[in-house]
Chains A and B, each alone.
Chain A
């Protein structure tokens, strides 16, 4: 791997985004809009908003980065630019790290705006440090990028890529503890939720919500999300083939 090539790739991905201001606006505004909406949906029960709001701060970056990455890498595969890059002296790790860096940077901006809005304007009551919220959001964004990269290998078209969103994300959304605490689910479902990475993303957010310090549970959750992201990135790298039929 080569740092210059990784950075060049990240800069290129961001430059592509810059020519698409509407996508950037949607990425930044939609999470804020959802938080705003929820704040007033749960107008009578601010505690519910605290729970759901904190969880959503972790879930938004995961979902948006999943979508953006799966479409971006699918386009790279179908436009022939991936074949061209892999015929050049570019390591697969450079390409993947470049994407992760670019979308990670975007996720930081997105999460910073959403977290700021939630904490200081919508009255989200978080006991822990907002920096820890940002850290989890960034790890979630990496996980989303990794999952998106991985599933794009199995999508032959944009139609299919978009359908992977409900297939990969929705089950995790239902089982991650957003709707009801995981330990109150049917034991089989709780078992399944224990092996899904989004569960730990939400658990991590809830730790920050309830504790002033970095708890061991928080560290464990953060490490699990980061580990899953790296594992899936590795799997994603394996789907990038220099030689194809």
Chain B
């Protein structure tokens, strides 16, 4: 009807060398404010990339741009070999917003069954849908609550339902906006193990945002953000080595101070 379907035919096979996400000169304006400034980065295939930075630095806007729900995006942004927001990408990307987006007046199973029917419609797929739903509920460790209303769950449980929805269609790219906020340490560890399993076994690419620096150590690669700009794009080890620090947190602070110092220097030169 009113959605813009892509006129192109088959999606081109994305090669392993091609990054899952490639951005060049990426900028986003929200109202009068420029939230993202001329970003240039890549997210490699089949790995977990952490998007770290203080709250308000533009992490969510960047993720929404990649998923294709952000308006006023300029520059180049390619996702799985297609321009971001392309209709063909909608079934290939799983997206979890920061606030759990599930129906509070449905049970966990009913929530998942509905979203599964949108991703994989038709009577012929009923059995596959059932399996996918059961597996996704097990993935987030909610099997014992499957028939509870989402509105009656705790905050952490609701965000896991939201995560389970994103795991439904075996997406090639998972974009997770602060998926571990407010969860206890055991659950956080379990979820990170799950993320690694998804990357290793299913070959999926994960982009996970967090403002908790200790989670950075669990990522293959890191994008450090501050004030709408990317401070660093590297592996955790390389970051620690190049800044001569012991933790990613210290590396981040070092980079922020450095950026502030060069900023001041630029201003005095002017």
Residues on A facing B (Cβ under 8 Å): 1-2, 4-5, 8-9, 11-12, 15-16, 19-20, 79-81, 83-94, 237-238, 241-245
Instruction: Pick the residue among A87, A88, A89, A245 that contacts B71 (CB under 8 A).
Output: A245
> Looking at the complex, which of B17-25, B98-106, B186-194 is the stretch in contact with chain A?
B98-106
Contact A85 B72 (CB under 8 A): no
Task: Give the size range of B's interface with the partner.
Answer: 35 or more
Residue B251 at the A interface, CB < 8 A? no
Contact A4 B122, CB 8 Å, known A12-B110, A15-B106: yes
Q: Could you tell me the distance between the alpha carbons of A5 and B1 in the complex, rounded to whole angstroms?
A: 13
Least distance between B155 CB and chain A CB atoms (Å): 14
Instruction: Pick the residue among B31, B91, B102 that contacts A81 (CB under 8 A).
Output: B102
Least distance between A226 CB and chain B CB atoms (Å): 18
Instruction: Pick the residue among A87, A241, A244 that contacts B90 (CB under 8 A).
Output: A87
Q: Which residue in chain B gives the minimum CB-CB distance to A16?
A: B105
Contact A89 B119 (CB under 8 A): yes
Instruction: Pick the residue among A12, A79, A91 that contacts B114 (CB under 8 A).
Output: A12
Instruction: Tell me the number of A-to-B contacts counted with CB atoms below 8 Å.
Output: 99
Contact A245 B99, CB 8 Å, known A19-B106, A20-B105: no
Q: Which residues of A contact B30 (CB under 8 A)?
A: 245
Contact A4 B121 (CB under 8 A): yes
Contact A93 B2 (CB under 8 A): yes
Within 8 A of A (CB), among B100-134: 100-106, 110, 114-115, 117-119, 121-123
Known: A5-B117, A80-B101, A245-B72; 10 extra A-B contacts, CB below 8 A, are: A5-B121, A79-B103, A80-B97, A81-B101, A83-B69, A83-B97, A84-B115, A88-B91, A242-B85, A245-B31
Q: Which residues of B contact A242 (CB under 8 A)?
A: 3, 68-69, 85
Contact A12 B101 (CB under 8 A): no
Contact A81 B118, CB 8 Å, known A87-B67, A241-B71, A244-B71: no
Q: Which residues of B contact A92 (CB under 8 A)?
A: 1-3
Least distance between B253 CB and chain A CB atoms (Å): 32
Q: Which residues of A contact B101 (CB under 8 A)?
A: 79-81, 83-84
Contact A19 B69 (CB under 8 A): no
